[in-house]
Copies of this chain bind each other. A is one copy, B any other.
Amino acid sequence: MTVPHAPSERTRLKRYHWLAAYDRATIDAIIDAALVCHVGYVHEGTPIVTPTCHWRLDDYIYWHGSSASRMLRNQATGVPVCVSITHLDGVAFSRAAFDHNILYRSVMAFGKTELVEGAEKEAALAAFVNRLAPGLWDYARPPTEQEWKASKVIRMKLDEVSAKVAAGLPEEDEADMALDLWAGHVPVRMVTGDPVPDPKLREGIEMPDFVRDFRI
């Protein structure tokens, strides 16, 4: 994998405690921990960035949508895209006004789209449903022929990918460290609340374990 970030950006980032986050395990973990990515593509010269749910199978990142979606039609096959995934992990308070920063993990992946069809599409969508919650695919009412047809799946090979991980505080100058000012960080994380049953849920239907145990 090559690293598309500009040298100037990488130089600047050296001031922070960066993990050397270009290994595949780190990249996969960042991708898999997110439900939503931002996919960018170019339509008639205009950049379009759309949030969408994604999932990963081996060396590919997948997303899906309605067959009627303009976005998916425009992205069909061989279209250059950039997929960006970001987790906000905290806010770093420094002594100097311009040294404040956020803590985050992010992945940026460049590639061209491929339309996924037939048995591969079916396996990919089943994997996506089970990624939301393990066991969900077998529990839910299976798709009809029409629902299969109405779903389109796109994938992109992960081969031009990089990660950035800002995990610690920015390094401050000696002079700033000597100031009578507080520095530190406030962690931020996503949490799940208690499941809320559909108000129209019929009586006597038990909450499945995969819902009770769901964590983001």
Q: Which residues of A contact B (CB under 8 A)?
A: 6-9, 11-12, 35-36, 38-42, 45-51, 53, 66, 68-71, 80-84, 86, 88, 90-91, 93-98, 100, 102, 104, 106, 108, 110, 125, 129, 132-133, 136-137, 139-143, 147, 151, 169, 176-198, 200-202, 205-208, 211, 214, 216
Contacts and interface: CB of A to CB of B under 8 A. Distances in A.
A84 B40 CA distance: 10
A contacts with B: majority SS: mixed
A46 B80 contact: yes
Contact of A47 (B82, B90, B178, B205): B82
B97 A129 contact: yes
Contact of A98 (B9, B96, B143): B143
B96 A141 contact: yes
B188 A192 contact: yes
11 contacts: A6-B71, A8-B69, A9-B71, A51-B84, A51-B86, A88-B190, A91-B133, A93-B133, A140-B181, A184-B196, A186-B195
